[in-house]
Amino acid sequence: MIGDLFNNPIEVLFWFGALVLSITVHEFAHALAADRLGDPTPRLQGRLTLNPKAHLDPIGTIMILFAHFGWGKPVEFDPYNLINPRKDSAIISVAGPASNLIMAFVGAVLFRLVASTPLIGIGGLTGFNPFVTFLEVFIMLNVTLAVFNLIPIHPLDGFKIVGGILPEEYASQWHELERYGILFLIVLVFPLFGPTAPITNIINPIIRFILSLLVPIIGVI
């Protein structure tokens, strides 16, 4: 991506736009789910909005843009305000990745419609369709965000989802692993033992499978 800053600035612009939209909706979905389940914390903190300023973490955004790994500003919620804290926490957590998959599906529908439309030259760039290019980036990014966030490691959404599914006697043991989450992520995300990060080998097959269902001609990030 760093090279693209000089070689393909339009693609970088599309990446940034898709990134802002995807993270904003992801975090808003968390806030909306918490609010609907009875916790006013996100609303009181100004997170029940689609204004990107409320949801973007500067460092996390830069990391995703350049390293394909990063984060938004986490949505805080108080489990004591929830009727069923474990189950509702899982629902709040799954709302973010679910929103990304929904956006990817909508993007795939639009992609098929736009891609089938006769190309009209834009800005003199023969053969370049900016809508198709943006949708390709948008779909890939949302699928990647959904799959990555479903990994069951704290602080990713998958950790709380598993905690809400497990029987209560096992859930307490599961949550004891929370303290080691960052260490697990470092081992998975950074190529410490080879040319590629372990997380790539874990999530790329899943991403490929989902993309093959949505828009088969799109490759993997």
Q: What is the mean pLDDT of each run of 10 residues along the chain (221 residues)?
A: 54 84 95 97 96 88 64 90 95 98 96 74 53 90 94 94 92 93 87 81 93 76 46
DSSP secondary structure code for residue 155 in this structure: T
Per the DSSP assignment, residues forming a β-bridge with 65 are none
- Residue 42 CA to residue 31 CA, distance in Å, equals 5
Residue 113 makes CB contacts below 8 A (sequence gap 6+) with none
pLDDT at 148: 92
Catalytic residues: 27
The alpha-helical segments, DSSP class H, found in 68-197 are: 85-115, 130-149, 157-165, 168-175, 181-189
**Terminal CA-CA length for the chain:** 11
State whether residue 125 is helix, strand or coil. strand
Closest CA to 107 of 68, 138, 151, 79: 138
Nearest to 22 by CA among 125, 122, 140: 140
Question: Which sequence spans correspond to the domains of the chain?
Answer: 4-214
Residue 118 pLDDT:
61
Q: If you search the block for the tokens 């693609």, which residue do you land on?
A: 11
Closest CA to 74 of 104, 34, 102: 34
